[in-house]
Structure 1
């Protein structure tokens, strides 16, 4: 009779141990996602504040609009300010970073109400960052259109 009592008890202990092990695995995956987003954001921040940058691609819903930024040099300051200059025009804005549903974002804001600088004033998903190139993507909340923005270091 004692043997029959021990079998269910041992089975219950075994099942509790399995359940707690699975729970710990799920938590560590969430931490990895958050750490990965943080690393991408930090890398992008550190990259942008070094030197000046040019737009080498701005595609708005499949239409190449890169020429609207020709000759503009972009400088991202550590205090979150942003300037774009082409010799005769200077545009001032701000930049910051964040996450949206664990997606690393780079947010650009120029205080204009029309033109190309309004079009790049968005929350951009960070696709790829290297020492000399940053690739960004924005998906419109209205119609789902996709914009691409690439900066390359001068």
Structure 2
């Protein structure tokens, strides 16, 4: 009887261990950047001020277009950027795009970092208007990417905390 109970307990423990293992561990990152969610990204962006340290537009490095600008992501959904007397404002949001199908890269389970500046098409800030896919986010850096559906170009945008 004791042997039968022990065997049953071993089987139960085995099933519990096997079913608790996750199959999505293949892409684990040591600092867990890829598993960050929309709420965490929103909280990170709202803390402190940021600057653009990289903006690659379809292979062209246009980072210098934003030199000296300081970005503040406010909790009310506005983003304000200043450089001296020049100020540009817009809106921002972060959402889990698993329920939307507007991603250019075909991914259905990523986090979108949405930026919109109401500026003329000739303004440099118009290039930032997009639903960027989150690559990673830490307390010091937010990395975004966009794969254009039109021309197939890849854009990269990196904010670093000041």
TM-score of the pair, normalised by structure 2: 0.70
Query: 1:44 offset after TM fit, Å?
Result: 1.0
Distance 1:129 1:40 in 2: 9
Q: Name stretches of at least 5 consecutive residues in structure 1 with no aligned partner.
A: 1-24, 30-35
Aligned: 1:61 with 2:55: no
Query: 1:40 offset after TM fit, Å?
Result: 2.1
Aligned: 1:123 with 2:131: yes
Task: State how many pairs are aligned.
Answer: 123
Distance 2:37 2:55 in 1: 21
Greater gyration radius: 1
Q: Name stretches of at least 5 consecutive residues in structure 2 with no aligned partner.
A: 1-18, 24-32, 101-107
C-alpha spacing 1:57/1:37, structure 2 compared with 1 (3 Å): closer
Provide, for residues 81-111 of structure 1, a one-character-per-residue CA deviation record: whole Å limited to 9, x for no partner. 0001001210010001221422210000000
Give the alignment of 1:1-154 within 5 angstroms. 39-98=36-95, 99=97, 100=100, 101-114=108-121, 115-154=123-162
Query: 1:116 offset after TM fit, Å?
Result: 1.4
Partner SS, residue 44 of structure 1: helix
| Cα RMSD for the two superposed structures | 2.1
Distance 1:133 1:71 in 2: 17
Distance 1:77 1:153 in 2: 14
